[in-house]
Structure 1
């Protein structure tokens, strides 16, 4: 199955599930319509990386039954609801104004409250509504997975990984908040956040889940995880670079937004480790400043480049990507899956989005 065809199957499964949920929601009350509209807007975008890795994990482990492939598309698509939950909650915690070039969910609900002239603080209403939307997506992700139509035994195996992945990403998110609050992170601690907040969740566990759904041997699972974890780290390091140096037209977020949000990324940790006292003071002063101007962003960018942190981060991306490619080359997987996973490695670490 081609990448385009897989994308269409994933999109169809996702939209079909949400459409089935819609009447039940609206039967509760028409006031829930804005909640569904916010979800529709969020699900309309995205690269569908997690479902793609899940599908190719299934194929890599020998999955090929056409009837089962329909169930795999549904099970893989459930990861997009999990991703929607993580994004909505992440934007609340980071006080992000935009997501994929549109207002973030909490800003969307905040605007509705303000326009209607309702009581209370618009910001508090927006955050509360967004948290509930994220919770709904989290609940629906499990419901969609369980209703995929796959046989009970592969479903049980896959569900174990799915549950683990949800736990890991929540723990990773907490560690990310903790690093920002402490304000003294190292490259090592930043990499630990990367592993659990992003690398496992984005690539390693979706591959692992797909492989388990196909009944993979422990050797195949280990081989796919050896490919998935370093690629997941490279993916997040690339995302960190784009969060500072990316083009807003491509990233969907204002330039330097990660700096304004005070994210203690590997890129920032590398800069602080290599900075002079004066440079470090400038970075610490600007990091987390929500009012940081374009000039302030440019100044921090210059320090990141001058310290060699950007080049060091690019070298790390290359090393982790090479490690993933070596693991994939050594893995005993289906030829079409090997080719597709190689293409996904390029897509996940591209210098633009």
Structure 2
């Protein structure tokens, strides 16, 4: 942000990059012989991420001061929200911003300022932070992005300060509140972003739908873990509502709602967002089991130890023999299993063809989304950026 003018520009040289997204795009360009994400689009994504990070930092400085004014002992709460919201690749704000850029000259919201839109879409990071914290509590996860999860961190703080009561209950309670606070701040940042009242009104309908879906998706995930939503169809239902919708489809719709786009553009968001969001989540599932911990920031055993019922697992169960099913039954969700045992489970996911089938689905769904991007009635620069995001989201290594 230019402090003298109060505006943000995406044409300046960024001081920070898009994490490893630039590398992911470059890798995808090497792997794809027919269609590749333009280098220029990758540079635009880098600059956008830097601008979103700056908008978040400005907002969080204000919130930190507000909490400090209440009681200085609230500092760890502010620090935790900051640590979660400021990490990651900023994919959701990126999809929302380019949705707006793609439709801004053709809709009712032609007068919206770039800096205000950036603040509005940056609010998506707080929704994401809330979902991550609550998901980690429900999964009893130990690490996230290379650091202790929120509930573990606060449990350790309880022990370090020799507080009374159960340290684990304290950690879980604190994490629930941190996630709730992030959700509260998401509303505040959107409302105070500076977009017009008309644009805010259009955005609210998408915003409310998105937050309802991600919360419902979390419950469906719990239900599936308890055996209430079985099979591959159950896995894909959870993926759609827990992650796919609020990762791509709804952020895109949020951006075009701010732009005041017409029905054709709104429909294109669904044609792009549903297959791409699914492919994104399936890539996440693969990385959770086969990813490099030094890159993903979490153990490759965690998802297996937590017993996550992903599409990988459902497809393996469909074709495994009796020995394979016993292996799944004995090891999946077993907190006492070791890496060697989980390696055997990974080998089963490969030998049953489950991994190949998921990779094939990722490829197919990504191709569907990229075709929809090509056909979407949006500006050319947005089309190039969205195509780059599609590649980055589905070929990432973290």
Which TM-score tier does this pair reach, normalised by the shorter chain? Answer: over 0.9
1:300 to 2:345 alignment: yes
1:288 to 2:341 alignment: no
The answer for the alignment partner of 1:219 in structure 2 is 264
Distance in 2 between the 1:95 and 1:183 partners? 20
Q: 1:335 to 1:152 in 2, by over 3 A?
A: same
Distance in 1 between the 2:112 and 2:244 partners? 31
* 1:37-76 superposed Cα distances (whole Å, 9 cap, x missing partner): 2122222310000000000010111359685211110111
For residue 5 of structure 1, the aligned residue among 27, 44, 47 is 47
Q: 1:12 to 1:65 in 2, by over 3 A?
A: farther
| 8 A contact 1:238–1:350 mirrored in 2 | yes
The answer for the alignment partner of 1:208 in structure 2 is 253
Structure 1 segments, 4+ long, off by >2 Å, are: 62-67
Correspondences of 1:1-353 after superposition (within 5 Å): 1=10, 2-62=44-104, 68-182=113-227, 185-353=230-398
The answer for the alignment partner of 2:20 in structure 1 is none
Distance in 2 between the 1:291 and 1:139 partners? 38
| 8 A contact 2:92–2:125 mirrored in 1 | yes
Give the RMSD, CA atoms, in angstroms: 1.3
| 8 A contact 1:237–1:313 mirrored in 2 | yes
Distance in 1 between the 2:335 and 2:120 partners? 39
Distance in 1 between the 2:58 and 2:130 partners? 18
Return the structure number with greater helix share: 1
- Structure 1 stretches of 5 or more lacking a match? none
* 1:313-338 superposed Cα distances (whole Å, 9 cap, x missing partner): 00110110111111111111100000
Q: What is the TM-score normalised by the length of structure 1?
A: 0.97
Distance in 1 between the 2:131 and 2:82 partners? 15
- Structure 2 stretches of 5 or more lacking a match? 1-9, 11-43
Distance in 2 between the 1:81 and 1:184 partners? 29
* 1:219-241 superposed Cα distances (whole Å, 9 cap, x missing partner): 11101220111000000001100
| 8 A contact 1:105–1:130 mirrored in 2 | yes
Count of aligned pairs between the two proteins: 353
* 1:240-266 superposed Cα distances (whole Å, 9 cap, x missing partner): 000000000111111121111111101
| 8 A contact 2:223–2:229 mirrored in 1 | no
Q: Any idea what SS the aligned residue of 1:177 has? A: helix
* More deviation, 110-119/38-47: 38-47
| 8 A contact 1:106–1:126 mirrored in 2 | yes
Distance in 1 between the 2:50 and 2:307 partners? 37
Shift of 1:8: 1.8
| 8 A contact 1:183–1:264 mirrored in 2 | no
* More deviation, 53-62/164-173: 53-62
Distance in 1 between the 2:193 and 2:82 partners? 21
Q: Any idea what SS the aligned residue of 2:113 has? A: helix
